[in-house]
């Protein structure tokens, strides 16, 4: 693993895990009024397409990182819909 | 451009533009209380690393898409900090 690979790995981990503080914040406050459902829906759809892209290209890093992202963003979308109704 | 390339392109555009509805929502409401600053900071940092990664790898699509993402997410971070103080 050279410097560029390590950089790409850190970049991927940052982008992948970035939604976690938002999930925890909603989990604690149960408030989603200021959050855009459309933003997280489009993001989740895009990440789902990346998973399909990774499968078609047989690119395991793309499949793995985006599957984790997909899982986390689906939680976020569910939270927004669930707490918006409350 | 084959089917897989088109899929990757749509995936990239979705992820890249997904933050726009959130920016417009904050722009209209001027409310950011429920939004996690840490989420958008880590995301922006990760996207910035992708730009550097793209430059080092001489990969123009990565540089271009992530530069646009970086610009949009910087607006979002600025909005959160600016409206949190109000």
Q: What is the ipTM of this complex?
A: 0.91
Residue B58: CB partners within 8 Å, gap ≥ 6? Answer: none
* List of chain B residues whose C-beta atoms are within 8 Å of the C-beta of residue A50: 8, 11, 15
* Mean pLDDT value across chain A: 95
Work out the pLDDT band at A1, boundaries 50, 70, 90. Answer: confident
Residue of B nearest to A80 (CA): B34
Return the pLDDT at A39: 97
Q: Tens digit of pLDDT for each residue in B10-64?
A: 999 999 999 999 999 999 999 999 999 999 999 999 999 999 999 999 999 889 9
Q: Tens digit of pLDDT for each residue in A7-29?
A: 999 999 999 999 999 999 999 99
A86 has pLDDT over 80: no
**Domains in chain A, ordered, with CATH?**
3-85 (1.20.1280.290)
Query: CA angle at residue A10 from B60 to B61, to 5 degrees?
Result: 10
Work out the pLDDT band at A77, boundaries 50, 70, 90. Answer: very high
Query: CA angle at residue A79 from A76 to A80, to 5 degrees?
Result: 90
Three-class SS of residue B33?
coil
Query: CA angle at residue A59 from A58 to A64, to 5 degrees?
Result: 115
Chain Cα centroid distance, residue B24: 14
* List of chain B residues whose C-beta atoms are within 8 Å of the C-beta of residue A83: none
């Amino acid at each position: 693993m050279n410097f560029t690979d390590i950089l790409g790995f850190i970049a991927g981990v940052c982008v992948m895990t970035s939604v976690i503080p938002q999930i925890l914040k909603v989990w604690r406050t149960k408030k989603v009024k200021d959050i855009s459902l459309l933003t997280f829906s489009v993001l989740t759809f895009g990440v789902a397409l990346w998973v399909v892209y990774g499968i078609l290209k047989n690119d395991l890093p793309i499949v793995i990182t985006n599957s984790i992202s997909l899982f986390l963003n689906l939680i976020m979308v569910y939270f927004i819909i669930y707490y918006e109704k409350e």
